[in-house]
Structure 1
Amino acid sequence: MKRLGYAALVFLLIAALSGCGGFQGGPADMPQSAHEVQDGQGKTLKLPHKPQRIASLSIGTDEVLVHLVAPERIAALTYLADDPGISNITAQAQSIATKVRANPEQLIALQPDLLLVPDWQPQELIDTLRQAGLPVYVYHAPNTIEQIKQMIGELSRVVGEEAAGQQLIAGMDSELAAVRQQVDRVAPDKRLIVLQFSLLGATGGTGSLFDDICKYAGVRNGGAIAGLGKFDLMSKEQMIKVNPDVLIMPMWDSTGRNNIGQYREKVRSDPGLQSVKAVKNDRLIPVPDRFQSSASHYIVDGVREVARAAYPELDWQ
């Protein structure tokens, strides 16, 4: 069958749903906490009560959401919530039966009373979901730890659980302070240069989340030193010039087709990299991608693990 276009799909699904009552509000005995919120695209969303069927379209909001509301208020998480390579909430995700992708058919049929969508999702998808009558809240995907805190505060207000959001932020601040207490023992002129590797090569330049991790972890980001941008890859010539002390290696492959151990050995044995300090000293340290790539409060684990990789001699608990 020829694939339906977004517009036709919306028409058919809205017609089908209208026959069973369409979008429904919360239970009649729900405490009244009606409020309006404005999302990251300037759209005003009217919420008649605390959302009771919340769906998330990113692993970052999955991880925040399970710590803000009870499981029975979550209609769906993303399919990534079950993947231990990139998810920090696999245990909590077991209690949420429905896992979704950015699929308009699935999301419209789900009928959430709040749909949390990052701004990197296609605008066409966002428009389709809004046209279907879904209460879509688009938020700015964070690129820094401070922006993650802001996102947590924002989402906690949307779901009506500001106290829980503030508790998550306070936990982040406490963990970051503990890391800072350790790395402050390292003199500024002794701070090591670290470089982030993905399966595509060395990356993590200025403006990346890894760049911000480095600032909190008390290390110097080799990607930024080389002048890389957020999505740039580093050449071997640049790597030799930067001469990093530590390579932060990936532990997760989204495709499932690569052998992570073999990839690390390929980098370690590369003839063109034998003069690099990290390679000479065999300091290719794996850090879980679910930490170093997290767009939630779990990013503090990434900060701690990068700091620990650089300075294992410090007093890590």
Structure 2
Amino acid sequence: MKKLCIFLLVSLLFLLAGCCQQVKMSGHQECKTATYAVLDDEGRKLTFSEKPQHIVSLTYGTDEILTDLVDSKRITAYSRWAGDSGISFITRDQMFKVGRKVNENLEAILALHPDLVIASSATNSDLITGLETAGLKVYIARSPKNYSEMQEKILNLAAAVGETEKGEALVKQMDEKLRNLEARMRKLPDDQRKVAVAFNFTSAMGRRGDLLDNMLEMAHVINGVATLPQNNNLEHGQLVISKEMVVGINPDVFLLPTWNFDNRRDVQGYAQQIANDPAYRNIKAVKNGEIKFVPDKYRYVASHHFADAVEKVARTVYPEMF
């Protein structure tokens, strides 16, 4: 029996030695992260022998999540939109700290020698194939359609970079912020909820079941476009919303775009165009001067700033509640 106990003890020590590495730090031993595997948002398996230390992010949403998950030294490059306050929550100081942005270009990314590239479900499939053919690990993050999927996006990415606890903390912070907002907004009577229609620089936008729809719902705003039949007026898979449809909705509020992404958009000029459009003359939003702006970095949020975006919408539509 004594020999068996000794054998088991020795075996345990060998197992511990296999997953730990001696580090000369004050004479102590430190266990480095063992090999771990994760699934990305498309269910593809990635295996890591250690936490990635040279991460390249190709999307503004994952830029933002990574910034609150890992030390900036572990981020080799942000996406091209980092530091653009029109669409990104990454500040210029954070951008300068990382010091590099990269476009979705195979040669440019390979030159950075990353140990993890974070792409999205919208990233060109040829680029992803090229990166993987070159031997790089590519993690594909989803484009969430609701809050639950946003939570999963954050938790899954946190697991991939070896920071599960930090991911859980980010989700907890979102949950708490949204609970506090709901406690305030539930005081609004249902019959006083406002109907809103959002616009891009082309026309009215949105549809039932997308992230903006979920955001408006959580802000106690009725998404006017979601009240329309969804099986008609599709063009290239997108719902085409005519002026006549907007008139039929007769929304209380117009939410207009703000991001001058190509330096050719006149934000205030577009607002004047909408306000002076004869087709919209008798709509409540125009008659009552309820033409408002929610910055596009909130409207197109793709990270844990979702909770901030819901609050921003609520504050914009119902300033009297704050």
TM-score normalised by the shorter chain: which range applies?
A: 0.7 to 0.9
Q: Within the alignment, does 1:245 sit opposite 2:247 as a pair?
A: no
Retained in 1: the 8 A contact 2:155–2:167? yes
Retained in 2: the 8 A contact 1:79–1:100? yes
| Distance in 1 between residues matched to 2:248 and 2:178, nearest whole Å | 31
2:239 aligned to which of 232, 249, 264: 232
Aligned amino acid, residue 263 of structure 2: G
Q: Among the aligned pairs, what percent are the same residue? A: 35
| Distance in 2 between residues matched to 1:36 and 1:309, nearest whole Å | 43
1:164 aligned to which of 163, 166, 176: 166
How much has 1:291 moved relative to structure 2?
Answer: 1.1
Retained in 1: the 8 A contact 2:40–2:156? no
| Distance in 2 between residues matched to 1:107 and 1:227, nearest whole Å | 43
**Residues 154-209 of structure 1: CA deviation (Å, up to 9, x unaligned):** 01111011111111111111111122112211111221101111111111111221
| Distance in 1 between residues matched to 2:170 and 2:138, nearest whole Å | 24
Helix, strand or coil at the partner of 2:320: coil
How much has 1:64 moved relative to structure 2?
Answer: 0.2
Helix, strand or coil at the partner of 2:130: helix
State how 1:8-87 maps to structure 2 within 5 Å.
31-87=32-88
| Distance in 2 between residues matched to 1:42 and 1:162, nearest whole Å | 18
Aligned amino acid, residue 313 of structure 2: V
1:113 aligned to which of 112, 115, 128: 115
State how 1:1-317 maps to structure 2 within 5 Å.
31-90=32-91, 91-228=93-230, 231-314=238-321, 316=322
| Distance in 1 between residues matched to 2:212 and 2:41, nearest whole Å | 23
Retained in 1: the 8 A contact 2:58–2:80? no
| Distance in 1 between residues matched to 2:113 and 2:292, nearest whole Å | 44
Aligned amino acid, residue 193 of structure 1: V
Gaps of at least 5 residues in structure 2 are 1-21, 24-30
Retained in 1: the 8 A contact 2:256–2:294? yes
| Distance in 1 between residues matched to 2:204 and 2:301, nearest whole Å | 18
- Taking only aligned residues, the RMSD between alpha carbons, in angstroms, comes to 1.8
How much has 1:78 moved relative to structure 2?
Answer: 0.4
| Distance in 2 between residues matched to 1:308 and 1:200, nearest whole Å | 25
Which is higher, the Rg of structure 1 or of structure 2?
Answer: 2
How much has 1:38 moved relative to structure 2?
Answer: 2.4
Gaps of at least 5 residues in structure 1 are 1-27
TM-score by length of 1: 0.87
